[in-house]
Amino acid sequence: MGRLRLALAQTNPVLGDLAANSRQILDAARQAAAQGADLMITGEMAVTGYPIEDLAQRPSFLVASLDATRTLAKQLLDEGLGDLVVIVGHPDGPHEPRLLGTSNAPTAIAHNSASVLQHGHIKATYAKHHLPNYSVFDEYRIFIPGDELLVARVNGIDVAIVICEDLWRDGGPVSRVLEADAGVLAVLNGSPFERDKDEVRLPLATRRAIETDTIVAYVNLVGGQDDLVFDGDSVVVDGHGTILARAPQFREHVLVVDVDAADATDTDLPDNVRRIDLTTRNHPKPDLAPDVAELPDDREQLWNALVLGLRDYVKKNRFASVALGLSGGIDSAVCAVLAADAIGAEHVYAVSMPSRYSSDHSRSDADDLAERVGIHYTTEPIADLVMPFENELGLTGLASENLQARVRGVILMGLSNMNGHLVLTTGNKTELAVGYSTIYGDSVGGFAPIKDVPKTLVWELARWRNEFAASRGEIEPIPENSISKPPSAELSPGQVDQDSLPPYDVLDAILDAYVGQKLGAEDVVQLGFDRATVDEVTRLVDRAEWKRRQGAIGPKISGMAFGRDRRLPVTYRPTRNI
């Protein structure tokens, strides 16, 4: 057995900011070297950020990315870190477009790659084999798949290298790891957070460690990228399935661990396996404290994912502040607290926009929350703005209700234009599903913090956030009345949501079956739901697709979020409810 000190660099890249991303990796390398690491591994596409989408088809982007990777190798050498072996993720290209069987589009010119850097040079490069084409991933059409396993022999221990989806698929490069007699399997990942994903991800890493008789070093990106949130949670698992080290979720971290791995052998390599030989100098290795982070409970993970997704969208797009309508209801209350947690209360601007139908408690609940959280707060009544439109156009009923929401949207966007705020839209997943939002009204905004949070979960998260505050001796941020009162848009006298919708626990259960599980309406009925209710809910969902297409993005926390996960036609008239 030999010993190798591994460092897993859990970085938070900004997509396209090659210089800043390289500085992150360089800083992580300094930390790794200071702790005596022999080998450091980054996440998938750490040089560029991930996913790069159709930038993979832009030759100038690929050239710049490869240049940045070469420059990083030289920077490591200049910093006195050239001896450290660094495996770094980046796109590689441009290559000649080529069609390999039926595995990718003929216009693809890039590999999703991992390069081994040492002594100022790229020593070898591995190309991802399995290109995911499901959920949010669209790599099938933008990358050329690799067909060779790369093994780096580091101080007498063979380290096989794969990228993300390669670990998930049976066959391919993973099937050759055992044949190559590797001692460590380094896995570079860009694996987005989803609720309960760890229940799949960790068992997979454990199973592969046992199957390949290796130590699996699984390193993941961290941070928000548009609607995706990468949670980190990098982990090292040995061949018995024991967790040797684990990084915390939702923050940058350099995880360093000693692994005792099988010594390399000179066994004949199977086809399509390449091996390179690398050595590092003996250098002092300070003692390591155990580094096994514990996962928080489910609600805290979800809250942290939403906070990180919002924070990184704001910061990476260079907004200094956010603005939102604060109605006194549960959705805007949760969004306001998320924003304060993400970027600081001093950068959050809330606006109460009461109409003639707004209740006294709605105004007082909004006032109360603003004071508890310490956010900026103003009141802009809308009655005098709404009346001229109603009188001029003769608007009544639903048209008048929607007008109120649109006037509020105009106010928020006006403040945004004046002050540079990013407007947050506060709709939840349940409302988006059934179309209970006003297009160009309460749907206005550039980011939707709870877009993937069903209504029942909004309440659950609100209660958790108050419990969390109380456990720390802090003021509970969300007024109890905002949690307990019946939800209402308050666009007409005495209006509540349940006037026209099923109870939210029933509605969310139907939506989970129809949207989350992709069941047809008849299949949902067979689960025991009332047929008339199912027919009405599914009709609302189908009719609202046009609204969702125009909505703001928001952090994905489920396995089936509206957006890239779910691609359905806007124009759709089924002959029967299917």
Return phi, psi of residue 395, to 5°: -80, 135
Question: Any idea which residue has 């008849």 for tokens?
Answer: 522
Other beta carbons less than 10 A from residue 356's beta carbon: 13
Reported as type and span, the H/E element at residue 162 is strand 157-163
Would you name the residues annotated as active-site residues?
A: 44, 128, 164
In which region does residue 2 sit, left (phi positive, over 0), alpha (psi from -120 to 50) or beta (all else)? beta
Measure the CA–CA gap between 138 and 563, rounded to whole angstroms. Answer: 13
Measure the CA–CA gap between 450 and 337, rounded to whole angstroms. Answer: 12
For 19, residues 6+ apart whose C-beta sits below 8 A from its C-beta are 68
Q: Between the CA of residue 318 and those of 20, 206, 269, 309, 483, what are the distances in Å? A: 14, 40, 50, 14, 33
- Give me the count of residues in the chain: 578
- Residue pair 405/357 in contact (Cβ under 8 Å)? The answer is no
Tokens of 341: 């947690």
Nearest to 264 by CA among 280, 250, 275, 253: 275
Instruction: Tell me the β-bridge partners of 150.
Output: 161, 274
Q: Which amino acid is at 519?
A: L
Tokens of 46: 């750490």
Reported as type and span, the H/E element at residue 256 is strand 253-261
For 408, residues 6+ apart whose C-beta sits below 8 A from its C-beta are 325, 353, 382, 441, 442
Q: Which amino acid is at 480?
A: E
Tokens of 190: 């860009």
- Residue pair 246/233 in contact (Cβ under 8 Å)? The answer is yes
- Residue pair 48/21 in contact (Cβ under 8 Å)? The answer is yes
